[in-house]
Structures are given as structure tokens and as C-alpha cells.
């Protein structure tokens, strides 16, 4: 599953040790196999005007001693029989928490259960729910992680795998009836000419979280793909009729992903049909249900006129991610939800590798690491820090985090780099061979990958230990012996509630550069697996400049004894584009984090950038655009452990940005003119030109370059695609140009019928540099704002949270927590994720810190979902950390 974009258990002394409404915690150490397995499931889902009736037949077989345990939430139980005998309330126990226990079950049991549910009022967007309204109404499912229990009673856990057959019945105004697997039968319901049905059969064993069905009126784009094994696969991408012309990018990405997986992992698709459905109301990015993927419209629809390059490329990556889950998640799944990183980390690594093959590998790596540093490092630095494989949870939805996904992917990358491509492929082949059709653990994964190197099993500590390691180091050169000695040490902060951190295996990709020629004289992958180690390079004729952590070989913070001149040298001579970007980030952080011990003047950075950018712009426009990156306010804040002043950080960041703009003021006009707008082309080169043009435009406006305001208006008026038009609009809004309101109105009028573009219209205003809480409140009452559509909520609230100087005010935080409170009952998954943005409140300088604490305490008194309560417990625990 793709996220549309997070556990220290320390309790504030003002709170009771266990809040009276706190649900119980689930622990990894308490795992036991289910007493009964399910061999087959027959579902019959009949959808009516204001309810649905679900009949299920479960063929169950005993595995261990114990009762049959089923889970169900928001269900009206109508009947239940076992082996043809109706059960009375004396035969089973139904608990308020949604657990149904059947006593005295025989070795084999056939359960027939009938329940009534109400998808029409299901605003949590879990289980079976109604999305849209009027002619756009559709019914869809979201069952990961525990949504299936909102459809019927079932042993809803990932280690119960079964064969599913599903019958759907609905009014004919919903002609699209879809479920997992292959279509077996379809027709009109006897004695009900206005109703029809479809029967689907999935021949593969799967857990209930991979169940999916769709009842709707949709158009379909069809294509086909012949696998490497000769299977002809029907490809279908379903969307509203108005959106079907935006499905071509997704369809091509699907075919590209199928081919890529065959070439790189030897994995071919295994069913006769692969379906994707676009849904506007969806909490996540997408869901890999076997043979029937459900996608947030933002993650599957794309056209040049309505989709930015960044979003369009993301569509391709997410399509690939969900397809790759067919093997890493579906055919081999998780034993329990603590193993979530097993399927998500490996699959993120696979989709990142796929994306790197679709564009510059360096730029893809920059994107990956920028996300990791801005979000996961911040998570590791705060009260929500948790291991990649958590040890406990109250609500598993709270652990669909950047730690599980992105850090999980970095662990797989470290293993792949340690083994090398050939041995890594041998290890993954063994993993697929050994565990196909099973529910497994991280230990199983590492066991398979270690067939050529048993040290790989030592990477288990990366899964168990929270926190981001800091790697520090220095070097000494012996001119007589011609040796270079590098000393490295590692240290990880101790997160309360967990064991003291131990040294981890950290691969450190290293190259030595000759100072005179700029050439690489030595390369080596160092493995730092002790607290302190020394590494000696021999036959080094003169003292070199050392480049460490090349291509970001490990998810660590690097604190090496570099001089500014060394970093400037690497910016000029590094042969890897990612490494050039990395040294610019190191220089920028030295400048902006001087209060945290960093000491650096901006002069070296500015001069190195001025020398490098014009040459690079002509050779690699996308990389040139990324070299102008300055870390986000969130990333900078994660490096500040106390007395964080959002206004001061913004002032310093904006000041450095202005210095860059002024340093190159005389070059912006020439650079902009050398990047003319042309007819749209979807290539890495064309995307790079558009990205750099937008950056140059913003820099020129920042430097007050003559006519730059005219450039923005002309770019908007003459745009060939959304990247150009929205880039111009964003600069006009952020620089408060005369006429910006007119262009905002024009943007709205042009795209009023397109929900995803109107999301951009909301977000550019909510994230504007001059935004106020009143402006956001106005957006929340706009006629096009919809509380039931997560994309729309995020377009305003998540965009607003990118402006910490306004968020961390009494009025801003009151508005933000009010949104969380409003969503707590209706959509607790979304509410909890919005809350987690506030996790670093305890690092604020007074009086903001006290204000934030009081508002979070007030919020705790007014919410009830286990999702939000668990997050609040961790967030408020920061008061003691």
C-alpha cells in the first residue's frame, strides 16, 4: 500500500498512567498462531439503497487447540450457523470490542454468517464504503490493515490465507461489478430485472486485507500484456467517464512495471486479468488488492494539462509500487502487522529502483533522500520514533510511517549494496522460491538473503532499533608511508522505552579524490559495524579529499571533519550527481544550523554554486534545479533539539535563499531565456528544463530582476502544461505580485470541473508565504471544500502545516487541532496522521511550547478514537523526553 504522503511510550505526569478510554496494546512478543485456518471463503454481497447484506461461508480447519476467534466491527449480526446448525448466544461470545468467539468447535467447521452493514454512512473509508454522490456514487473497499472486519465476521489477520469467491449484486444503475481474481459468471438477478450480479473467483491464497470489490458506473481503458511465461493478461483501468482520458500514463506505467519486474527479479504476473480503479475518496495513495488495485485518483490520473511533472512521475512510481506488491506483499505476505516493513520496505526499494531507470538515477536518489531527511529523520528525532519493525501498537494504522516505508527501503538498499547485484538477486530468488504462498517475518527475509553471506542476518538490528545513527569521523595522512587513515564512529540517541542502542552495520561508500587533478584515486565500501573503527588506504601519493556516504549508502547523519573548501572541491569534481547535491546540503546546513554547533560562512557555498550552476544547467537541467535546494523548514527543525523558533529559522532560510538569488542575479535572465517553453514532451530532459525554469523564475523574482514579473505572467498565459502554469501561479502568489488574485481566479475558472486541479488551487493558497489562520478558515468553508474527501482536506490542512511560523501560533494551532477533533470520529485514520505533524512541539521555545502543550492536552479531552489517542499518548510523552 502506498501512503498518500507517523513510539516512545512516555506519559505526561498530568495524565493518568492509562487513560480510562485507552484501548489495550498489542505486542509482537505475544504472537500466537490462530487456532483455526480458513481454506475457502464464499461471499455474497447484496447492495441495497440504504444498507448491504453480506452472507459468508467459511470452510475452517483447526491448527492448534482453542476456540474459533472472529473479528467484526459495525456489523449487525443476523444469523450464524456452524456445520448447518444455528448457533445460540450460549454457543458464542460477542464482545463490545468486536471479537466473536465460538466455543467447542470441531476439527473442521463450516460457518455461515449473515450480517447487515451500512456503507452509505461509512465515513471512515475502511471496509465497504460509499464514495462520491449523485451520478458519481460508487461503492469501494479498503481492507488493509483491518477493514475486512467491517464487512463481515472473520479471522481478520494477515497470517490467515484463503481462496475467495465473491458474488456481488446491485441495481443496474451500477453496471461495474468488480472483485479479486477472474470473472466466472455475470447476469440478471432472477425475479429482479432491475438488478444484476457478477461472480469472481481468485485462485490464489490471500489474507483478508487483500480483498476488494467495486460497485460503480465507470468507463474502462483496456490493453493487454504477454508475460515472459506466455500468459496473455487483460489490463483494465477504470475511472469516471470524464477522467478516462487521463489513464494512458498509468496504463503505460503498468506495462513498464510488468516488464521491469520480469527483467530485474524474474517475477511474472500470475492471473488472467489486472484491474485498477480510480477513487476520489480514499485515505491512502493506493492499495495492492490481488488483481484489483484501488487507487486514489491523485495517484493514477495524469495528463499534461492537469497534472504537474512531479505528480505524473509519482503516478508511474505508485503504479509500479502496487504492481510489485503482487510478489512482495501478496504472494508472500506478512505473518503479522509488526512485519509491515517486510512488504513495504522491500517494495519501496523496488519502486525506487524502477523510477531510477525511468529518469536520472542521481535525481531519483536525491528525491528519495530528500524525503527521508525531511520526514523520517524528523520522526526518528521526536517522540514518535519507533523501530522499522515496531514492538507494540494500539492501532496499526498509526504505523504506516516513513520509518516503516522509507527507512525500511534503505535497509534493503544497504543489504543490496553489501551483497552486490549478483548475490542480491540470488538472495531474492531464494526468498521467492522458499516462501511463495506463505506469511513470513523479517527474519525469514534475512535468512533467504544471507545464503551467500551470513553477515546479512546482522542487519536485523536495523529493524529493531529506533533512531538515526550519527556517523562522525576524521582523517590523517602519512606522507612517508603514503597511507590515509580514516577513523569513523557511530552513535544513536537512546529512545526511552527501548534498549540502549548498539552499533549497527553501516556501509559507507567512500572515494578518494586527487586534489590536483580532481580524479578518483581509490574507491571502497567501508563497513562500520563497531562503535569506532579505523580504515587504512595504502599507496596514496598525496593527501586526497575524501567523499563519504556516496549515493547515501546508509540512512545516517554524517558529521565528518570537512573544511568548507573540501566540500566546494567535491561540488566541482564529484562524478556522481547525488553526491554533488549532498555536499551542497552539507554546506547549507553548516550555514543555517550554526546555533546547533555548525560554523560556516555562506561565501564558499555561494561562490561554488555560482561556478557550478551555469555549466550544469546546460548539461543536466534537473540536477541543476536540485542543486538550488535549501532544506525545508521541517528538515531544519528536526536538527534543533530545544528552543526552536520557527520565525528565526524561516528568517535565516529565507535570508540564505535571497543571498543565492542575489549572487546569481546577473545570470537569471540568461538562464531563463535559455530554457524556452516548447510543445509538451514527457522525457527526463524536458521535465528537467521545466523544473529548472520554475526555480529560475522564483529566484529572479526573489532577486528583483527586471521584468521577472512579466515572465511569470507570460509563462502562465502561454503554458503548454500544468507544470509551467502552476509553477508561474505559485510564484505570483508567494511573491504577492500585482494581479496574482486575477490569475488565481482564472486558474479556478479554467479547472473548476477537475477536482485534482482544484486541490492545487486550494494548496497554493493554504501554503502561501503570507497565509493566515483566517485565510485557511475561509478555504475550509469554500463551496468546493469537502470534509469527506481526504485529498481536499490535505490540500488545505497539510499545505498549511508547511508554514510553521503560522501553525505554531495560538490561533493557527487552535484551528489545526480543531480539524483533528472534527475528523476524529468521522475519519480517525486521517485525523491521526494530521496530528503526527505536531510531534515536535516539545522543541519549541517558550512561550510557544507551553501554548502547544495546553492545546494538545485540551485536544486529548475531546477525542475518542484509538488512532488519535495512541498518537497523542506518544506526542504528549515528549514532555518528559
CA angle centred on 126, ends 397 and 352, rounded to 5°:
55
Per-residue DSSP letter, 738:
T
In our burial notation (b when 16+ CB lie closer than 10 A, e otherwise), range 486-513 reads: bebbbbbeebebbeebebbbbbbbbbbb
Residue 405 grid coordinates:
516505508
Active site residue 322: yes
d(CA 32, CA 392): 15
Answer whether 108's CB lies under 8 Å from 35's CB.
Answer: no
Among the listed residues 256, 258, 250, the one whose alpha carbon sits nearest the alpha carbon of residue 276 = 250
Q: How far is residue 643 CA from its own chain's centroid?
A: 30
Helix axis angle for 340-358 and 248-265, nearest 10°, is 110
The rounded distance, in Å, linking the Cα atoms of 429 and 411 is: 18
Is the torsion defined by CA of 34, 209, 145, 450 positive or negative?
positive
From start to end of 299-458, where are the E strands?
A: 333-334, 392-393, 439-440
- Which long-range contacts link 657-662 to residues 24+ away (Cβ below 8 Å)? 657/630, 657/702, 658/702, 658/703, 659/602, 659/606, 660/606, 660/609, 660/628, 660/630, 660/699, 661/699, 661/700, 661/702, 661/703, 662/703
The full length of the chain comes to 881
The DSSP output letter for 295 is E
- Containing 799, the helix (H) or strand (E) segment is helix 790-801
Q: Which residue has the cell 509500479?
A: 320
First to last CA, the chain: 32
Residue pair 58/41 in contact (Cβ under 8 Å)? The answer is yes
**Residue of 126, 322, 379, 873 with catalytic role:** 322
Q: Where are the alpha helices (DSSP H) in 620-734?
A: 621-627, 633-638, 646-663, 665-673, 684-702, 708-717, 722-734
CA distance 179 to 199: 8
Of 290, 273, 40, 39, which Cα lies nearest the Cα of 165? 40
**What are the residues facing 71 on neighbouring strands?**
99, 154
Which positions are annotated as active-site residues?
322
Amino acid at each position: 500500500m502506498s501512503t498518500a504522503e507517523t513510539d516512545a511510550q512516555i506519559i505526561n505526569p498530568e495524565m493518568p498512567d492509562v487513560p480510562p478510554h485507552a484501548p489495550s496494546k498489542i505486542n509482537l512478543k505475544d504472537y500466537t498462531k490462530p487456532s483455526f485456518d480458513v481454506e475457502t471463503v464464499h461471499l455474497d454481497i447484496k447492495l441495497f439503497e440504504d444498507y448491504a447484506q453480506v452472507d459468508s461461508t467459511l470452510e475452517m480447519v483447526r491448527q492448534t487447540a482453542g476456540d474459533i476467534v472472529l473479528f467484526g466491527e459495525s456489523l449487525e449480526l443476523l444469523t450464524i450457523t456452524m456445520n448447518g446448525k444455528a448457533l445460540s448466544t450460549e454457543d458464542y461470545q460477542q464482545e463490545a470490542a468486536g471479537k466473536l468467539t465460538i466455543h467447542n468447535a470441531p476439527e473442521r467447521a463450516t460457518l455461515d454468517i449473515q450480517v447487515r452493514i451500512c456503507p452509505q454512512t461509512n465515513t471512515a473509508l475502511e471496509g465497504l464504503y460509499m464514495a462520491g454522490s449523485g451520478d458519481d456514487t460508487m461503492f469501494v473497499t479498503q481492507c488493509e490493515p483491518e477493514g475486512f472486519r467491517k464487512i463481515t465476521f472473520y479471522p481478520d489477520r494477515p497470517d490467515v490465507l484463503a481462496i475467495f469467491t465473491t458474488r456481488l449484486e446491485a441495481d443496474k444503475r451500477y453496471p461495474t461489478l468488480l472483485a479479486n481474481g477472474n470473472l466466472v459468471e455475470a447476469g440478471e438477478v432472477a425475479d429482479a430485472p432491475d438488478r444484476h450480479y457478477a461472480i469472481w473467483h481468485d485462485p490464489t491464497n490471500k489474507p483478508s486485507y487483500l480483498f476488494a470489490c467495486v460497485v460503480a458506473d465507470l468507463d474502462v481503458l483496456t490493453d493487454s500484456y504477454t508475460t515472459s511465461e506466455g500468459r496473455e493478461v487483460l489490463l483494465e483501468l477504470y475511472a469516471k467517464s470524464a477522467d478516462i482520458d487521463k489513464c494512458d500514463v498509468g496504463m503505460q506505467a503498468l506495462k513498464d512495471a510488468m516488464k521491469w519486474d520480469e527483467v530485474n527479479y524474474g517475477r511474472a504476473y500470475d492471473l488472467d486479468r489486472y484491474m485498477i480503479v480510480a477513487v476520489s475518496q480514499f485515505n491512502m495513495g493506493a492499495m495492492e488488492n490481488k488483481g484489483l488495485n484501488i487507487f486514489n485518483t491523485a495517484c493514477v490520473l495524469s495528463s499534461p494539462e492537469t497534472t504537474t511533472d512531479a505528480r505524473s512521475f509519482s503516478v508511474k512510481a505508485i503504479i509500479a509500487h502496487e504492481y510489485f506488491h503482487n510478489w512482495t506483499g501478496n504472494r508472500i505476505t506478512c505473518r503479522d502487522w509488526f512485519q509491515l516493513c517486510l512488504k513495504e520496505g522491500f517494495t519501496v526499494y523496488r519502486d525506487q529502483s524502477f523510477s531510477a531507470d525511468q529518469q536520472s538515477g542521481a535525481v531519483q536518489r536525491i528525491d528519495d533522500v530528500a524525503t527521508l531527511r525531511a520526514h523520517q529523520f524528523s520522526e526518528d528525532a521526536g517522540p514518535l520514533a519507533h523501530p522499522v519493525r515496531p514492538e507494540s501498537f494500539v492501532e496499526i494504522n498509526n504505523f504506516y510511517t516513513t520509518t516503516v516505508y522509507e527507512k525500511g527501503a534503505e535497509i534493503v538498499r544497504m543489504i543490496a549494496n553489501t551483497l552486490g547485484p549478483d548475490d542480491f538477486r540470488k538472495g531474492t530468488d531464494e526468498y521467492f522460491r522458499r516462501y511463495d504462498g506463505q506469511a513470513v517475518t523479517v527474519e525469514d527475509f534475512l535468512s533467504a538473503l544471507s545464503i551467500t553471506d551470513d553477515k546479512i542476518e546482522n542487519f536485523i538490528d536495523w529493524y529493531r532499533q529506533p533512531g538515526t545513527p550519527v556517523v562522525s569521523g576524521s582523517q590523517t595522512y602519512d606522507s612517508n608511508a603514503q597511507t590515509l587513515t580514516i577513523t569513523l564512529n557511530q552513535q544513536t540517541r537512546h529512545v526511552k522505552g527501548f534498549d540502549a542502542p548498539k552499533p549497527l552495520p553501516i556501509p559507507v561508500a567512500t572515494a578518494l579524490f586527487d586534489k590536483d587533478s580532481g580524479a578518483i584515486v581509490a574507491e571502497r565500501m567501508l563497513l562500520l559495524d563497531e562503535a569506532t573503527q579505523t580504515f587504512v588506504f595504502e599507496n596514496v601519493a598525496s593527501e586526497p579529499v575524501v567523499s563519504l556516504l556516496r549515493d547515501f549508502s546508509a540512512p545516517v547523519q554524517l558529521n565528518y571533519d570537512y573544511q568548507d573548501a573540501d566540500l566546494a572541491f567535491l561540488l566541482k569534481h564529484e562524478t556522481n550527481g547525488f553526491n554533488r547535491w549532498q555536499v551542497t546540503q552539507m554546506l547549507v546546513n553548516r550555514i543555517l544550523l550554526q546555533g546547533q554547533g555548525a560554523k560556516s560562512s555562506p561565501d564558499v557555498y555561494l561562490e561554488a554554486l555560482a561556478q557550478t550552476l551555469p555549466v550544469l544547467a546546460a548539461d543536466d537541467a534537473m540536477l541543476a534545479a536540485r542543486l538550488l535546494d535549501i532544506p525545508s523548514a521541517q528538515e531544519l527543525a528536526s536538527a534543533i533539539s530545544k528552543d526552536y523558533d520557527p520565525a528565526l529559522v524561516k528568517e535565516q532560510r529565507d535570508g540564505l535563499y535571497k543571498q543565492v538569488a542575489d549572487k546569481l542575479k546577473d545570470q537569471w535572465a540568461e538562464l531563463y531565456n535559455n530554457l524556452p517553453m516548447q510543445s509538451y514532451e514527457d522525457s527526463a530532459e524536458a521535465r528537467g528544463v521545466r523544473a529548472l525554469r520554475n526555480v529560475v523564475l522564483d529566484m529572479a523574482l526573489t532577486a528583483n530582476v527586471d521584468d521577472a514579473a512579466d515572465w511569470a505572467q507570460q509563462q502562465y498565459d502561454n503554458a503548454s502544461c500544468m507544470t509551467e502554469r502552476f509553477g508561474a501561479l505559485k510564484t505570483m502568489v508567494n511573491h504577492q505580485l500585482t494581479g496574482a488574485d486575477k490569475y488565481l481566479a482564472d486558474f479556478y475558472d479554467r479547472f473548476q470541473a477537475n477536482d485534482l486541479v482544484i486541490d492545487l488551487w486550494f494548496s497554493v493558497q493554504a501554503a502561501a508565504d503570507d497565509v493566515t489562520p483566517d485565510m485557511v478558515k475561509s478555504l475550509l468553508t469554500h463551496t468546493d471544500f469537502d470534509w469527506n474527501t481526504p485529498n481536499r482536506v490535505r490540500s488545505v490542512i497539510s499545505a498549511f502545516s508547511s508554514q510553521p511560523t503560522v501553525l505554531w501560533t495560538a490561533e493557527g494551532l487552535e484551528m489545526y487541532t480543531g480539524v483533528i477533533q472534527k475528523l476524529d470520529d468521522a475519519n480517525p485514520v486521517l485525523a491521526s496522521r494530521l496530528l503526527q505533524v505536531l510531534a515536535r512541539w516539545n522543541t519549541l521555545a517558550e512561550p510557544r511550547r507551553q501554548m502547544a502543550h495546553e492545546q494538545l492536552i485540551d485536544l486529548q479531552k475531546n477525542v475518542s478514537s484509538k488512532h488519535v489517542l495512541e498518537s497523542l499518548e506518544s506526542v504528549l510523552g515528549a514532555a518528559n523526553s
